[in-house]
Structure 1
């Protein structure tokens, strides 16, 4: 039996990177996957691939920072068993390099976006007897990372919101956990290196890879496997926890 058979899963930012890997794996494991993404074309491409493999996937163009848009999509979906808050954006800079617009942009997508999805989905989960929520935090919620002020702020908020939701809704059979990846090799990373280190792409990729004690970046599929476990019934006794998936970054990088 597939681990997510007969489950309905909502995945924000599921059109690329980690979100794409989660969407594809959840569909493979039997879930009916709904991708909420600002980039409708990417989300649709993922869903087309899912459908070609005889899975169930549907794309919804949605700006997660807009509460009305999120609420409208969630209402149309109906029963939801799993929510993965994956949508997020990055910012490079310390507090002196983080202007008001930068801070608001990160907050609106990374923090308010997760809040909007939680606010819309939890009543549905309560109505239908429970569910599993997974929020994507980061090692930046655990340790100080240079030039990541706004991003770290947002992931610290995700960490705290996960604990709060787990505590508040445990009696409603709603589990809530978060995971904290280190660097993951996604198209975003390749684009970041190309933009900021032209001509030194190989050198910087190697340097960023070796910042993890294990000596490489994670693959999106590795993050997806942990997400699958935490959202499946196999993790039915797990709530209110954050799980670093970091190649030893937090504990061994001293």
Structure 2
């Protein structure tokens, strides 16, 4: 590896599986130390134990105290913090009118409030340090919305626009904000989609989903890991406020 992130320290939310695990693995391969935040104690700790230079913090990413603990963990165990990846998120597949208030509040709390809390806690730290990088998880579904995911798409629109506004607001402090927008992938969200549509995984199902992606395959955790790694690296030091689709052309 080229060690693009040598000497860097990152927090990755939802880092125990799916895109998050792909990001964590890529970061470690490229020389970074990583603090994983995950709601699942077992999978989170197991993920951190698999790779050298990883620590684990269990908690809800929408809670300020969890971010304070993650920042403290990065500082005490690894000496600093350079990168925040807001990857954790949920998908609830229902018609807009079938969402309960609980569904609505939960999806915005996890997908959007987590950005608010990370910004509140980490931006002051990055100010004192002289810079840092945030990479937030948007979605191809925000660029090209579809039925049965209205409020999910709305959360990702909030992520994208908050990222751009934060990029403008904090550029003078050398704090960069970018987002990535993946398409359907071999992650836990794929099973959520299958369950909602009463479909089973298989060649025909994957062919159906793949037909809307010009490169004709699913996104992979490693694809997102590579994109996020680039945006977090010094190679992207003059890039801020960007939404980078990682979708095989789906959003064209």
TM range (shorter): over 0.9
- Structure 2 CA distance for partners of 1:186 and 1:108, relative to 1, 3 Å: same
Residue 23 (structure 1) aligns with? 24
* Higher relative contact order, chain-length normalized (CA < 8 Å, sep 6+): 2
Determine whether 1:201 maps to 2:201: yes
Shift of 1:180: 0.8
In the aligned structure 2, how far is the partner of 1:195 from the partner of 1:97? 13
SS at match of 2:148: coil
Q: Deviations over 1:54-108 (max 9, x none)?
A: xx10111011112223223323433310000000000112321112111001001
Residue 157 (structure 1) aligns with? 158
Matched length: 246
CA contact (8 A) 2:91 2:192 kept: no
Residue 110 (structure 1) aligns with? 111
SS at match of 2:245: strand
In the aligned structure 1, how far is the partner of 2:195 from the partner of 2:249? 26
Shift >3 Å, 4+ stretches = none
- Given the two structures, how large is their TM-score scaled by the length of structure 1? 0.92
CA contact (8 A) 1:197 1:204 kept: no
Q: Find the partner of 2:71 among 71, 74, 78.
A: 74
Residue 58 (structure 1) aligns with? 55
Kindly report which structure 2 residues correspond to 1:129-168, keeping only aligned pairs within 5 A, or say none: 129-168=130-169
Mark the runs of 5 or more structure 2 residues left unpaired by the alignment: none
- Given the two structures, how large is their TM-score scaled by the length of structure 2? 0.92
CA contact (8 A) 1:142 1:250 kept: yes
SS at match of 1:169: helix
Residue 96 (structure 1) aligns with? 97
Residue 121 (structure 1) aligns with? 122
Shift of 1:191: 5.5
Shift of 1:196: 4.6
Mark the runs of 5 or more structure 1 residues left unpaired by the alignment: none
In the aligned structure 2, how far is the partner of 1:191 from the partner of 1:97? 16
Residue 177 (structure 1) aligns with? 178
Shift of 1:128: 1.0
Q: Deviations over 1:142-201 (max 9, x none)?
A: 122111011001100000110111111111111111111111211431454257535x32
Shift of 1:113: 1.2
Shift of 1:218: 1.0
CA contact (8 A) 1:15 1:42 kept: yes
In the aligned structure 1, how far is the partner of 2:106 from the partner of 2:177? 25
